[in-house]
């Protein structure tokens, strides 16, 4: 759990992608990530353009986009430059290492082309972490030092099995691959888990917290919410809001 400012964290973080997250948050004076769960390129890009000035990060699920293609990728890249936001593809890779390498780089969703970070589940063990680290470290990878990953360390929905040993293992694997793994999706700081496994000096993992909404009621499919204040008090560095922002009567005011 860091008590430094985002500017300080940006200036000393060894990973260039992590630095850019902190720099962007500082420049935009925002730690908001908007989860743009739309089903058409037009709706996704419209959201990114409208809310772009207010957010530090855009979170995509490009496999929701029925007309996904080059225009989607180009649009995302153009808007991220125009409004200075980072892009997180919430793909939740979970397969064996060999498959995930192809899903990430060169596959139909072109994830390595547009996403600064992508998340993975470590349900299948270390292979996935090793596999993705290898892709971005390969000499012919075109976005060297511009891409990183985060681990889904727990899940917001009711009855999640991503707890206890799974969460502890998430920390251990991020530590052993910290060249390319820069943080976690987690509902709160993982400081207690971090201190339960052997110490790593000067590490600074980023905590991205999903399930953010001013209405704390959740939805009918098990989603559970926290308010932005609760999340930040619990150790969130970036807060991730979907329907709480884009489905609000005036989305810009909800930012
Ligand atoms: N998400 C969660 N919980 C997790 C991980 N990811 O809700 O533990 C993702 C969902 C969705 C967004 O896939 O894209 O965050 C939450 O949307 P909402 O704010 O509209 O509930």
Sign of CA dihedral 97, 102, 108, 113: positive
Q: Tell me how far apart the alpha carbons of residues 49 and 72 are, in angstroms, rounded to a whole number.
A: 13
- Report residue 58: phi and psi, to 5°: -105, 130
So what's the pLDDT on residue 201?
A: 72
Tell me the C-alpha distance between 10 and 67, whole Å: 37
Which amino acid residue places its CA nearest to atom 8 of ligand 1? 155
Question: Is-contact 200 172, C-beta < 8 A?
Answer: no
Å from CA of 201 to ligand 1 middle: 31
Q: Which atom of ligand 1 is nearest to the CA of 61?
A: 14
- Which of 117, 223, 228, 244 most suits a substitution to test ligand 1, by most atoms within 8 Å of the C-beta? 223
pLDDT at 199: 66
| Residue 243 annotated as part of some ligand binding site | yes
pLDDT band at 194, cuts 50/70/90? confident
Report helix, strand or coil for 226.
Answer: strand
Minimum-distance ligand 1 atom for the alpha carbon of 154: 8
Q: What is the pTM of this model?
A: 0.97
pLDDT at 168 over 90: yes
Q: SS3 letters for 14-71?
A: CCHHHHHHHHHHHHHCCCEEEECCCCCHHHHHHHHHHHCCCCCEEEECHHHCCCCCHH
ipTM of the complex: 0.98
CA of 159 to the centre of ligand 1 (A): 15
User: Which residue's alpha carbon is nearest to atom 9 within ligand 1?
Assistant: 210
Q: What is the dihedral of CA 86, 87, 90, 92, to 10 degrees?
A: -80
Instruction: Give the CA angle between residues 175, 176, 179 to the nearest 5°.
Output: 80
At 123-162, the pLDDT tens digits run 999 999 999 999 999 999 999 999 999 999 999 999 999 9
| Cβ pair 97, 128 in contact under 8 A | yes
Structure tokens given for 19: 């630095």
Q: Is the CB of 185 under 6 A from ligand 1?
A: yes
Torsion of Cα atoms, 146 then 94 then 135 then 25, to 10°: 10
71: pLDDT strictly greater than 80 = yes
């Amino acid at each position: 759990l860091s008590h430094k400012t985002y500017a300080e964290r940006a200036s000393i973080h060894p990973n260039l992608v992590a630095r850019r997250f902190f720099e962007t948050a500082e420049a935009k004076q925002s730690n908001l990530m908007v989860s743009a769960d739309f089903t058409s390129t037009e709706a996704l890009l419209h959201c990114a353009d409208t809310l772009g000035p207010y957010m530090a990060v855009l979170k995509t699920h490009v496999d929701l986009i029925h007309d996904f293609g080059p225009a989607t990728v180009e649009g995302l890249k153009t808007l991220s430059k125009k409004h200075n936001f980072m892009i997180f593809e919430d793909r939740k890779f979970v397969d064996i290492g060999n498959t995930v390498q192809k899903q990430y780089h060169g596959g139909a969703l072109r994830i390595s082309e547009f996403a600064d970070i992508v998340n993975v589940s470590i349900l299948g063990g270390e292979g996935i972490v090793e596999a993705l680290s290898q892709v971005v470290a390969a000499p012919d990878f075109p976005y060297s030092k511009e891409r990183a990953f985060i681990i889904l360390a727990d899940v917001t929905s009711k009855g999640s099995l991503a707890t206890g040993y799974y969460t502890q293992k998430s920390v251990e694997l991020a530590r052993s691959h910290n060249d390319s793994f820069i943080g976690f999706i987690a509902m709160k700081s993982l400081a207690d888990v971090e201190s339960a496994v052997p110490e790593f000096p000067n590490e600074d993992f980023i905590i991205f917290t999903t399930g953010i909404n001013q209405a704390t009621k959740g939805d009918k499919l098990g989603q559970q919410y926290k308010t932005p204040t609760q999340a930040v008090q619990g150790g969130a560095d970036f807060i991730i809001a979907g329907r709480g922002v884009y489905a609000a009567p005036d989305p810009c005011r909800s930012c």
